[in-house]
Amino acid sequence: MSQLKKFYQDKVRKLLAQELGIKNPLAVPRLTKIVVNMGTQDDLKDKGQLQKLSADLAAITGQTPQITKARVSVASFGIRAGMPVGLRVTLRKDRMYDFFQKLVSIVLPRLRDFRGVSPKSFDTRGNFSLGFPEYTVFPEIDLAKVDKPRGLEVTIVTSANDPKKAKRLLELLGMPFEKG
């Protein structure tokens, strides 16, 4: 079992239930899944580039990525329905907690001029999205092998149906939010 998962079950769940006045332990907000997306523009047309990006994302997440395909054609972007447009990984259970712990303790502190993540990045359902302009901030990526920087998006899905409850959950799990 992941250290963070054990910490959530032993301490965070009880504290959240107490703060939010929740009697049923199954109703306490928790992490449901983490989705990591990488939009790859024209790079997926080249099979070698596709394999390289897929290997990088697999190294970051510890799981093989899925290729996402365009649902509709957009002539102005040169995209046809069914064309590969990105890579996606959905993390659950122990891998999700391990990735979250790595994100909070290793990756975010490596960002230049980092003062915390924006608390405005929650949607109305309590999910938190975080974008990285370059995926090279992850320690698994060898900078010498990266030909051009690419972005990465991480979405943390919670069972909280309210952004305030979700923010408190992430704070207790160690997410550094901006002051102010």
- Please report whether residue 26 resides in a domain: no
In the structure encoding, which two tokens stand for residue 31, read together? 């992490």
pLDDT in tens, 59-116: 999 999 998 888 888 887 777 887 778 899 999 999 999 999 999 999 988 888 888 8
Whole-structure pTM value? 0.89
Please tell me the total count of domains within the chain: 1
- Please report whether residue 161 resides in a domain: yes
- Please report whether residue 143 resides in a domain: no
pLDDT in tens, 5-52: 999 999 999 999 999 999 998 999 999 999 999 887 666 667 777 788
3-state SS class at 54: helix
- Please report whether residue 130 resides in a domain: no
Which carries the bigger pLDDT value, residue 144 or residue 41? 144
- Please report whether residue 125 resides in a domain: no
The domain of 158 spans: 3-21+31-114+149-172
Q: What CATH number is given to the structural domain containing 35?
A: 3.30.1440.10
Query: Alpha carbon of 26 to those of 3, 29, 117, 119, 148: distances in Å?
Result: 20, 8, 28, 25, 45
Q: What is the pLDDT of residue 51?
A: 82
- Please report whether residue 63 resides in a domain: yes
Q: What is the pLDDT of residue 125?
A: 92
- Please report whether residue 126 resides in a domain: no
- Please report whether residue 128 resides in a domain: no
